[in-house]
Amino acid sequence: MSKAQRAQVDAILRQPRPAPRNLEELRAGYAATQAQMAVSDGIRTSETTLGDRRALLVEPTERARPGTILYFHGGAWSLGSPETALPLTSALVSRTGTRALSVDYRLAPENPYPAAVDDGANAYHALLKNGEDPARIALVGDSAGGSLAVTTALRARESGLPAPAAVVAFSGCFDLTLSGESMDTKAGTDPIFTREMLGPLAGMYCAGQDPRHPHLSPALSADLTGFPAMLLQAGTNEVLLDDSARLAARAIDAGVDAVLDVTAEVPHVFQSFAGILDEAGQAIDRAALFLSQHLR
């Protein structure tokens, strides 16, 4: 564990930036920031359609192993795209040898809940209709996308579809009531988020819906009985830490094979800093191993 590397990442995230004047500037700034992250070698990308949404197909340049990673990008349900998640999807593809399909789901506030969940469920259903074996599909996402990985699995079960093989979430947001203890204990330690910053973003996505709904706050109210194996990764320097901890506890209580993987003194979605932060690459290695073990 490198204290100097962790300090470097923290300093990068705390650099002052001009305040965006509107959502368009916020989206452009997020895309520009993500474009600076390293994309792994040994992959190729192409555009495709999954369900009725655009998707980015990320494949290894060598022959792909069986299986599909259905990926959901982060961005607080209102920012981002498959391209902004390419550093993470490429890292998983290069390590597992398995292809990924990253869904360009609809964003809030133009399309609030349940649009993103609908798009996730439609994408999963489309894979099944195309003949994909659910035992070789993993739902994966970061931040808001981690929540969508979980809620897509919930929606699939509610629709009578077979469960995927696994769910992986990097720093998932699983409680839109923002009531986790870490919202207070990690205030100031988190270089990105505060409860006050997350509140309006959660409000745009919920759009008047009860934030305790299982699809909005699975850590509080989701029935995880019969859920696929889950890997939940988080850092101790993020206000969303308790989201992963409480969802993992809820899954374990329901008899689910759940792994809570917490890395010390790293921020939200620290895995994006692979190549700068040793812990980032190590965490992705663990996620890739988990996926390889469950994508039979």
pLDDT band at 18 (very low <50, low <70, confident <90, very high): confident
Residue 19 has pLDDT above 90, yes or no: no
- Which tens digit of pLDDT belongs to each residue from 188-230? 999 999 999 999 999 999 999 999 999 999 999 999 999 999 9
Average pLDDT of the segment spanning 273-284: 95
Token duo for residue 245: 């901890």
What's the pLDDT at 21?
Answer: 87
Average pLDDT of the segment spanning 161-188: 97
73 is catalytic: no
What's the pLDDT at 20?
Answer: 85
Any bridge partners for residue 55, and if so which?
A: 48, 103
What's the pLDDT at 1?
Answer: 56
- Among 81, 90, 143, 171, the active-site one is 143
User: Rounded distance, CA 69 to CA 93, Å?
Assistant: 8
- Among 73, 215, 268, 294, the active-site one is 268
What's the pLDDT at 16?
Answer: 85
Name the 3-class secondary structure at 49. strand
User: Rounded distance, CA 272 to CA 11, Å?
Assistant: 15
Token duo for residue 109: 């506030």
Average pLDDT of the segment spanning 180-185: 98
Average pLDDT of the segment spanning 73-92: 98
User: Rounded distance, CA 60 to CA 77, Å?
Assistant: 28
CB 58 within 8 A of CB 89: yes
143 is catalytic: yes
238 is catalytic: yes
What's the pLDDT at 131?
Answer: 96
What's the pLDDT at 49?
Answer: 97
User: Rounded distance, CA 253 to CA 279, Å?
Assistant: 29
pLDDT band at 17 (very low <50, low <70, confident <90, very high): confident
Average pLDDT of the segment spanning 264-287: 96
Q: What are phi and psi of 18, to 5 degrees?
A: -60, 135
- Among 238, 244, 279, 294, the active-site one is 238
- Which tens digit of pLDDT belongs to each residue from 49-75? 999 999 999 999 998 899 999 999 999
- Which tens digit of pLDDT belongs to each residue from 101-126? 999 999 999 999 999 999 999 999 99
With CA atoms as reference, report the closest residue to 139 among 31, 56, 147: 147
Token duo for residue 216: 């909005």
CA 136 to chain centre: 19
